[in-house]
Every structure is written in C-alpha cells, then in structure tokens.
Homo-oligomer: A and B are copies of this chain.
Amino acid sequence: MGKKAPTISDIAKLANVSIATVSRVLNNTNYPVKKEVREKVLKIAKELNYKPNIFSKMLKGGMSREIGVIIPSITNPFYAQLISAVEKECINRDYVPIVCSSYNSSKLEKKHLDMLLQKQVAGMLISTINTSKTFLKSLSSYNMKFVLFDQNYEDLEYDSVSFDFYKSSYLAVEYLIKCGHKDIAFLTAPIDRKSRKMIYKGYKQALRDNGLRFNRKRVVISSIKDMEFQGEREYENGKKLVKMLLKSETLPDAIVAINDMTAIGIIKELMSNKIDVPNDISVIGFDNISIGEMINPSLTTMHQPAYKTGTLAAKMLLDRIEGKEIENNKIILQPTLIERNSVKKIHIKLRR
C-alpha cells in the first residue's frame, strides 16, 4: 500500500545480476542469457509483480502503443459503433485508443490534435470536418501516421476509409422514385462537409436522371451551430426542419433526410402533426443506426457500415504502423439499401 513500484534494478539486486541482464531477459531479446539466470530473473520479476515503467521505455525512443482517435461526438450512435470496432481492433493488437470528441469545433479539434501529438501516439484515426488540403497537409507534416475515415477523401494522397455518399444518395432517391414518389424534398443540416455535399449532389443528379425537376424550394437547410450533444441535436434539428417545411403551401411526397438521427426527428414531428409516415409522407435516411429498426415505423435507410469502417480503418493504421504491406490504402465502402417501413410503395413497379 503506497510502496514504490519495483524497478529493474530491484530485480537485478535480488537476482545478483546486472540490470542489463534483467532487461535482456524481460524483453526476450535473442541476446544469450543462461537458462538458470533467465528463469531466476523471471521468477523474481513475477514475485515482485514487476511492471515496466513505460515512461522510461518511451524516453529511450520506444514506440507508444496509443492510438489517437478524433470524431465529432461519442454521443452519436454511429460513432459509438465505429469506436467500439476501433477499440476492439486496438485491444486485440495491444494498443489503446484515446478517443476525443471535437463536437465540430475546430478549436477543440486543434487542442486534441496538439495533445495527441505531444503524447507521441503511435498513430491517429481522424474524422474531421476540415477536409481542406492545407489542413491535411499540415497534419501530415508532423511525421505522424494517420488514416482518415468516414468523410470522402478519395481525391487525396492519404490513407483513408471512406464511403460512397454520392452513390448512396443517388440510390436512395432512385428508390423513392421507383416507389412512385415524384415530389421529393431534401432536409438537411448545413452542407458544410464533403459527405453532405456528395449527398446533395447525388440527390440532384438522381432527380434529373429520372426526369424530375430539381426544385430549390424543396431543399430545407437548418443552421445548427453548437453541436454539444450531436445525437440529440440532430434529432431536434429534424423536428425543426419539419416546422420549416410545414410553412410551404404544399407538402412533398417523400423526404430525404441528411442522416438517420435527423430522419427520426422528422418522423416524430410529422406524426405529432398528424401527418402519417409513410402513408402521407415517406422518409428515408442515411447511416442505418440501430435505433432505426427500433422506432415505429421502422426507418428505411441507406446502410453505412460504421463497424466495418472502424475495423478497416484501425487495421489499416496498425498495419501501417507495424510496417506491414497494405494492399489498398483508399478503401471506399459501398452503400446498401435497408428497406423498412418508412417509405410507401405507391406503384408496385419495383423490380428486385
């Protein structure tokens, strides 16, 4: 209780050998050490419950086994899922993740970045809003290994695990159209990042490709600044978006929501205005967070594989850190449609 932790030289003394020998035994180097000596040292180390002091190890230039992770918010179930995968992968390979939520504040993001840099983490997993080249360049100028995830970075030179948001959005809108919907609105939070831009682009293109007119009046953008609790904020934002939408003269047939959390807020608010989902209005989201299945009506959505993203990103980073060969350092995951009950099928002209 309160005693000082045993050191390598405590062991050395008890075993009547030099600290060098102890170090060699404990590190299992291929430097030859007599069997009996080795065993003796090992035994004493165990008895003393010796734990190496990582700080001195690090000081000698050892590699940290910490992985910095920067995400928007742990409160968002999408990221919670992703982190859970990252954590698992890290623990398996004996690293420990340090996860930092930036709450979409670049000030906080910078602070976390500095902290992680100072800690000399072995690598970083980063999902940032700030996808500007200069930012990314400055990031890579510290010789720190990192892989970007979640956002679209396909045009850049860095390791990344991203997602085909454009296609996802295109498919979602196409699905709505196939279900017989014509007047399709797009409700979204500020289009401030690549992923949202892609979704917006996909929405417009799918409309046009299917002979529907893009109507700027049908895109409703709210402004959320303070993202304290992202999950709940996005939900609240969904409600707010519906209130904005209800001010227009006519209602659309269907709504494309920027993500599931927003979609759920949208459905909730529609319902409490006696507008039935999907009978009066259909709603489709993006992400496929687990809540989508739990609510009533269950949410039709585009699956974005959070867990897989986490696993792949962590794998890629750890492989890079350990100098392993990396076959594909720019993974782009593909969307799949999760058909549930928030979209009404007006025609049965759907083909499988």
Contacts and interface: CB of A to CB of B under 8 A. Distances in A.
Contacts of A265: 294
Interface in A289-335: 290-291, 294-296
Contacts of A108: 91
A96 B83 contact: no
Given A84-B74, A294-B268, A59 B55 contact: yes
Q: Give this chain's copy count.
A: 2
A41 to B, nearest CB: 19
A243 interface: no
Contacts of A229: 81, 84
Interface in A64-120: 73-75, 77, 80-81, 83-84, 87, 91, 96, 98-101, 108, 111, 114-115, 117-120
A94 to B, nearest CB: 9
Interface in A32-73: 51-56, 58-59, 73
Interface size class of A (residues with CB under 8 A): 35 or more
A348 interface: no
Nearest to A56: B59
A141 interface: yes
A268 B231 CA distance: 22
A271 interface: yes
Interface string A116-134: 0111100000000000000
A98 B98 contact: yes
A118 B235 contact: no
A2 interface: yes
Contacts of A81: 75, 229
12 contacts: A51-B114, A55-B56, A55-B58, A75-B80, A80-B80, A81-B229, A84-B101, A96-B100, A235-B294, A268-B296, A271-B296, A294-B295
Interface of A: 1-2, 51-56, 58-59, 73-75, 77, 80-81, 83-84, 87, 91, 96, 98-101, 108, 111, 114-115, 117-120, 141, 143, 229, 231-232, 235, 264-265, 268, 271, 290-291, 294-296
